[in-house]
């Protein structure tokens, strides 16, 4: 029997473009499958440039703490495709197993035949079929790219549609301005359904999202900073909206940006009809939340042992300038609390703005060690990344792998053990977790 990896590889031949934003092909396949997208539990649909996955992780942790069964669809995966589809069950969901994934992919393959369809479209259809066949209380659905013409945007009446922070990314598909990106993301808003807009870094994004939600007839429209807020106070997260205040533990996920994501998650759950959950579920969710590869400190596994004694190892898969600014701010907070020389181990795709990304670490990082990203044809050569780092003002070198970069730290004389941040790409984050033997669960 074909494995899921073999099936997905074969699907690449069904359409000449890996990414081709439109809804016609998936709508045709879903109709032929008997419309599984119409047999789903309540759906919270999440779009945005940064923070989508973390916001979903907070919602899942809260809902599962309340004893609910939660389906989750996210992308991309870090190590194995199965991470994209989490099937809900009481006591905590699990990634889809190989047998069920193959069954769903083969069903979609048989129904689709040789008709044109992208890999993301056919695998999204397979996910919808699995979610429809497996009882659960809610589906947390992440947009793949954009929103308006993304394959997930076939949900006609979501329990709520959420847009997290907007920034510049995927300009080839979404446009080269914040306004154009925001228009695409706002395509998830639906008439008569709640719209939740996270606090935005760009005023023009906020303006476009609010206007788009109104034009779509969405409602109620809840805007971060106006209709709800979240901030840290005495080491706690204080959330406030018109329904009242929640005094919660500081989120387990580190970084000031995670306070925003946590607040957006609470607002989304309340808008979607889950506001009556016991306060203990919101509290437990803040403490239980997990989201691998996003400002994750690795203390176990093979890789920490390659570094000098006492060194810290951190990992983040963010890859655009806005994500880098949030990451640099978080690492500055760590530095303020516990000073240590910061070393970046960085790999990036050629499609990303390495110049703007690396500039965020000026004055913070002692140096950058550029590494290749294995198996990615779009990866920028390590020598190019090092050249960009040098051009923006960072001390830079190259290493053939993350392992070699970590081992090279023994060649330095440190005043205190270094803090190492592996960053620049989700593909590199996945490669590192696999090498470390700490796969996402």
- How would DSSP label each residue in 122-142? HHHHHHHHHHHHS--SEEEEE
CA 423 vs. chain centroid, Å, equals: 14
Q: How many residues does the chain have?
A: 441
The answer to whether residue 256 scores a pLDDT higher than 70 is: yes
Measured between alpha carbons, how far is residue 409 from residues 39, 216, 273, 330 in Å? 54, 54, 51, 23
Average pLDDT over residues 266-293: 95
Q: Count H helices, E strands: the chain?
A: 15, 17
Helix axis angle, 119-133 to 24-32, nearest 10° = 40
The answer to whether residue 52 scores a pLDDT higher than 90 is: yes
Q: Tell me the torsion sign for CA atoms 270, 324, 370, 349.
A: positive
Average pLDDT over residues 304-315: 96
Q: In this predicted structure, what is the pLDDT of residue 173?
A: 61
Q: In this predicted structure, what is the pLDDT of residue 15?
A: 85
Nearest to 347 by CA among 399, 269, 291: 399
Q: Taking CA 37 as the corner, what is the angle to CA 34 and CA 40, rounded to the nearest 5 degrees?
A: 115
Q: Which position has the higher pLDDT, 415 or 172? A: 415
Q: Per-residue confidence at 18, pLDDT binned at 50, 70, 90?
A: confident
Alpha helix segments (H runs only) across 217-370: 256-269, 279-288, 321-337, 354-359
- 174-178, 260-264, 293-297, 420-424: least confident range: 174-178
* CB contact at 8 A, 239 and 248: yes
Average pLDDT over residues 21-25: 90
Average pLDDT over residues 116-145: 97
Q: In this predicted structure, what is the pLDDT of residue 93?
A: 95
**Residue-wise pLDDT tens digits, 429-438:** 999 999 999 9
CA 130 vs. chain centroid, Å, equals: 21
Q: Per-residue confidence at 324, pLDDT binned at 50, 70, 90?
A: very high
Measured between alpha carbons, how far is residue 212 from residues 198, 272, 423 in Å? 14, 19, 34
Q: In this predicted structure, what is the pLDDT of residue 16?
A: 81
**Residue-wise pLDDT tens digits, 57-113:** 999 999 999 999 999 999 999 999 999 999 999 889 999 999 999 999 999 999 999
pTM: 0.96
> What is the C-alpha separation between 390 and 377, in angstroms, rounded?
24
Highest mean pLDDT among 165-169, 220-224, 275-279: 220-224
Q: Per-residue confidence at 246, pLDDT binned at 50, 70, 90?
A: very high
Identify the helix (H) or strand (E) that includes residue 360: none
Q: In this predicted structure, what is the pLDDT of residue 175?
A: 67
């Amino acid at each position: 029997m074909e494995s899921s990896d073999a099936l997905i590889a074969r699907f690449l031949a069904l359409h000449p473009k890996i990414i081709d934003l439109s809804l016609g092909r998936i709508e045709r396949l879903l109709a032929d499958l008997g419309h599984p997208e119409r047999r789903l539990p309540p759906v919270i649909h999440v779009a945005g440039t940064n923070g989508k996955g973390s916001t979903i992780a907070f919602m899942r942790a809260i809902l599962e703490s309340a004893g609910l069964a939660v389906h989750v669809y996210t992308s991309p995966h870090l190590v194995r495709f199965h991470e994209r589809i989490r099937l809900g069950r009481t006591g905590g969901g699990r990634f889809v197993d190989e047998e069920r994934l193959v069954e769903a992919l083969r069903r979609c393959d048989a129904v689709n035949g040789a008709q044109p369809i992208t890999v993301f479209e056919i695998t999204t259809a397979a996910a919808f079929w699995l979610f429809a066949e497996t009882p659960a209380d809610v589906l947390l659905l992440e947009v793949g790219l954009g929103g308006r013409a993304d394959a997930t945007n076939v949900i006609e009446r979501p329990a709520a549609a959420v847009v997290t922070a907007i920034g510049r990314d995927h300009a080839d598909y979404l446009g080269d301005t914040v306004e154009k990106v925001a228009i695409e993301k706002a395509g998830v808003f639906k008439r008569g359904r709640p719209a939740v807009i996270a606090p935005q870094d760009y005023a023009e994004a906020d303006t476009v999202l609010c206007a788009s939600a109104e034009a779509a007839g969405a409602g109620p429209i809840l805007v971060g900073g106006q209709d709800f807020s979240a901030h840290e106070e005495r080491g706690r997260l204080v959330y406030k909206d018109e329904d009242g205040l929640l005094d919660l533990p500081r989120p387990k996920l580190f970084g000031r940006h995670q306070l925003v994501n946590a607040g957006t998650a609470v607002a989304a759950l309340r808008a979607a009809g889950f506001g009556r959950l016991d306060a203990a579920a919101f509290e437990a969710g803040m403490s239980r939340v997990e989201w691998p590869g996003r400002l994750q400190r690795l203390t176990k596994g093979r890789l920490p042992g390659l570094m000098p004694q006492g060194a810290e190892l951190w990992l983040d898969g963010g890859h655009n300038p806005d994500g880098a600014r949030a990451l640099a701010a978080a690492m500055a907070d760590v530095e303020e609390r516990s000073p240590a020389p910061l070393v970046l181990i960085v790999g990036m795709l050629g499609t990303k703005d390495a110049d703007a990304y690396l500039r965020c670490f000026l004055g913070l990082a002692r140096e950058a060690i550029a590494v290749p990203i294995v198996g990615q044809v779009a990866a920028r050569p390590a020598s190019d990344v090092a050249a960009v780092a040098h051009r923006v003002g960072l001390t830079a070198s190259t290493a053939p792998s993350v392992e070699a970069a970590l081992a090279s730290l023994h060649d330095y004389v440190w005043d205190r053990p270094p803090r190492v941040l592996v960053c620049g790409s989700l593909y590199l984050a996945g490669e590192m977790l696999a090498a470390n033997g700490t796969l996402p669960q």
